[in-house]
Structure 1
Amino acid sequence: MKLLYEGTITNQALRKQQPFYMRQLTMDDLPVIEQVQREVIESLPEKAALQPLSTEEFLFILQGHGLLIGAFVDEQLIGFRALLIPEIDEEHLGLDIGLSESELSKVIYQEISVVLPDYRGNRLQQKLADVIMKEVPNLTQPFRYVCCTVAPMNIPSLKDKFLQEMHIGSLTEKYDGMQRYIFVKDLERPNQRYTDYITAALDDMYTQQKLLDEGYVGIGFKLVKGFHEIQFAKPV
Structure 2
Amino acid sequence: MKFLYEGTITNQALRKTQAMHMKRLYLEDLPVIEQVQKEVIDSLPEKAILQPLSTEEFLFILNERGLLIGAFVEDRLIGFRALLIPEIDGEHLGLDLNLSEEELPRVIYQEISVVLPEYRGNRLQQKLAEVIMKELPNLEEKFRYICCTVAPMNIPSLKDKFLQQMHIGALKEKYAGMERYILVKDLEQPTVRYEHHTNVKLDDLERQRQLLADGYVGIGFQLVRGFHELEFAKPVL
Is the pair's TM-score, using the shorter chain for normalization, greater than 0.5? yes
SS in 2 for 1:3: coil
**Which residue of 2 is the match for residue 166 of structure 1?**
166
Q: Give, as a single letter, the amino acid of the residue that structure 2 aligns with 1:13.
A: A
SS in 1 for 2:113: strand
**Which residue of 1 is the match for residue 143 of structure 2?**
143
CA shift, 1:158, in A, is 0.6
CA shift, 1:166, in A, is 0.2
Distance in 2 between residues matched to 1:68 and 1:142, nearest whole Å: 17
**Which residue of 1 is the match for residue 227 of structure 2?**
227
After TM superposition, the structure 1 = structure 2 runs for residues 158-197 of structure 1, keeping only pairs within 5 Å, are: 158-197=158-197
Q: Give, as a single letter, the amino acid of the residue that structure 2 aligns with 1:202.
A: L
CA shift, 1:24, in A, is 0.1
Distance in 1 between residues matched to 2:191 and 2:54, nearest whole Å: 35
Q: Give, as a single letter, the amino acid of the residue that structure 1 aligns with 2:163.
A: L
**Which residue of 2 is the match for residue 217 of structure 1?**
217
After TM superposition, the structure 1 = structure 2 runs for residues 78-117 of structure 1, keeping only pairs within 5 Å, are: 78-117=78-117
Unaligned runs of 5+ in 1: none
**Which residue of 2 is the match for residue 30 of structure 1?**
30
CA shift, 1:49, in A, is 0.4
State yes or no: 1:118 paired with 2:118.
yes
Distance in 2 between residues matched to 1:140 and 1:55, nearest whole Å: 24
CA shift, 1:64, in A, is 0.3
Distance in 2 between residues matched to 1:157 and 1:92, nearest whole Å: 21
**Which residue of 1 is the match for residue 77 of structure 2?**
77
Deviations 1:132-190 (A, max 9, x none): 01111111111000000000011110110001110000000000000000000000001
Distance in 2 between residues matched to 1:138 and 1:26, nearest whole Å: 16
State yes or no: 1:68 paired with 2:63.
no
SS in 1 for 2:126: helix
Q: Give, as a single letter, the amino acid of the residue that structure 2 aligns with 1:49.
A: I
> How many residues of Structure 1 are paired with residues of Structure 2 in the alignment?
236
Q: Find runs of 4+ consecutive structure 1 residues off by over 6 angstroms.
A: none
Q: Give, as a single letter, the amino acid of the residue that structure 1 aligns with 2:2.
A: K
Deviations 1:67-120 (A, max 9, x none): 000000011000000000000000000000110000000000000000000100
SS in 2 for 1:14: coil
Q: Give, as a single letter, the amino acid of the residue that structure 2 aligns with 1:127.
A: K
SS in 1 for 2:159: helix
State yes or no: 1:41 paired with 2:41.
yes
Distance in 2 between residues matched to 1:229 and 1:154, nearest whole Å: 12
Distance in 1 between residues matched to 2:30 and 2:208, nearest whole Å: 39
**Which residue of 2 is the match for residue 58 of structure 1?**
58
Distance in 2 between residues matched to 1:153 and 1:228, nearest whole Å: 10
State yes or no: 1:198 paired with 2:172.
no
Distance in 2 between residues matched to 1:128 and 1:56, nearest whole Å: 23
Distance in 1 between residues matched to 2:205 and 2:26, nearest whole Å: 40
Distance in 2 between residues matched to 1:184 and 1:40, nearest whole Å: 25
Q: Give, as a single letter, the amino acid of the residue that structure 2 aligns with 1:207.
A: R
Distance in 2 between residues matched to 1:205 and 1:56, nearest whole Å: 32
SS in 2 for 1:135: helix
**Which residue of 2 is the match for residue 207 of structure 1?**
207
**Which residue of 2 is the match for residue 127 of structure 1?**
127
Distance in 1 between residues matched to 2:33 and 2:115, nearest whole Å: 11
Q: Give, as a single letter, the amino acid of the residue that structure 1 aligns with 2:51.
A: Q
Task: Report the TM-score, using the length of structure 2 for normalisation.
Answer: 0.99
Distance in 2 between residues matched to 1:136 and 1:195, nearest whole Å: 31
Distance in 2 between residues matched to 1:193 and 1:135, nearest whole Å: 27
SS in 2 for 1:121: coil
**Which residue of 2 is the match for residue 14 of structure 1?**
14
